[in-house]
Homo-oligomer: A and B are copies of this chain.
Amino acid sequence: MTTDAVDLRASFHVVTGGAGFIGTNLARALSGAGAEVLILDDLSLGQRGYLPPGKAIRFAQVDVADREALSAALSQASGYPSVEVWHFCANSDIQAGAHDPKLDLRSTFQTTFALLEEMRVRGWTTINFASTSAVYGDQGDTPLNETATLLPISNYGAMKVASEAVIRASCESFLTTARIFRFPNVVGMPATHGVIFDFVRRLIADPICLSVLGNGEQQKPYLHVGELIEAMLFIRCRTAAGHHIFNIGPLDAGTRVNQIAQLVCQAIAPRAAIAYGVDPRGWIGDVPRFRYDVSRLLRLGWKPSKTSSQAVEKAISEIVDHELRGR
């Protein structure tokens, strides 16, 4: 299935974090499928320039954790018979959250809490939530399915666990449908953070040497944002009311950080030296390797067409093009 097959005419969708990396791709897809879309974003990581164009897309700059401001922004959706929420705003800077846990508390968890409170009083009963493989923590090479224990090792992962938990509890009171999407590492444009973006920017600034956090052996599954959006819309259309959790990811065991470093060097500065650290982890809360079991999503009928490495290669090409074009 491609997103072309999705028909969302006459439906209204709120996308929090819709000016960010994944949110803006989602909002474009929803709008492309005929939906009316209201984007909420505080523009702390997202950018106005990322907002997809179109008459059916509205935007409000708002801190979703601020209940009063959120309520005012959501009043634009009043009068629509059914409103579906895609909660995608969060602090995506995991390293920053390791130094100041209040960042994740506010941007990742309190946004969820405030949003659920608003949904409850407004009688909105469907939420789609951007969760993460980080909820599982570091479980080595065990392939993780959706029933695996949640032992997050970052505050980012912890606040996603917390968000999942309050969403689950809300299914007992007012929510009829909750879809929890657990993302792997997602790559593509518009890049705002992440290993590829970081390497590209730093190699452009210093084409002599690229220094890598950790020993480079970290290995993670990568998915291109285009495939992620396709998978989410597929799940959205193929699941009925209830509480659903889906890992979304490639079928392979992932790509290593040293492979990504080499690919980025090849694209920008083929003669650059690459300096690795000694720690198996890039930073506190970094999960050095994890394996995803995506059989639930395969059974539902969706399969990614790219491997981790293909997703990474495509994203490198897109990001390098964009970064060099601006010069």
Contact = CB atoms under 8 A, between A and B. Distances in A.
A152 to B, nearest CB: 5
18 contacts: A98-B173, A101-B169, A109-B162, A149-B149, A150-B150, A150-B165, A151-B168, A151-B243, A152-B168, A153-B168, A154-B169, A159-B165, A161-B161, A161-B165, A165-B165, A169-B285, A172-B284, A173-B285
Given A162-B109, A162-B161, A169 B150 contact: no
A153 B155 CA distance: 23
- Please tell me how many copies of the chain the complex holds: 2
A137 interface: yes
B285 A172 contact: yes
Interface in A81-117: 98, 101-102, 105, 109, 113, 116-117
A168 to B, nearest CB: 5
Given A101-B117, A109-B162, A153 B137 contact: no
Interface size bucket, A side?
A: 20 to 34
Contacts of A162: 109, 158-159, 161-162, 165-166
A23 interface: no
A250 interface: no
A105 B102 CA distance: 15
Contacts of A101: 113, 116-117, 166, 169
Contacts of A149: 146-149
Interface of A: 98, 101-102, 105, 109, 113, 116-117, 137, 146-155, 157-159, 161-162, 165-166, 168-169, 171-173, 243, 284-285
Given A153-B172, A158-B165, A161-B161, 16 more contacts: A98-B173, A101-B116, A101-B169, A105-B113, A148-B149, A150-B150, A152-B168, A153-B169, A153-B171, A155-B166, A155-B169, A157-B165, A159-B165, A161-B162, A162-B166, A169-B285
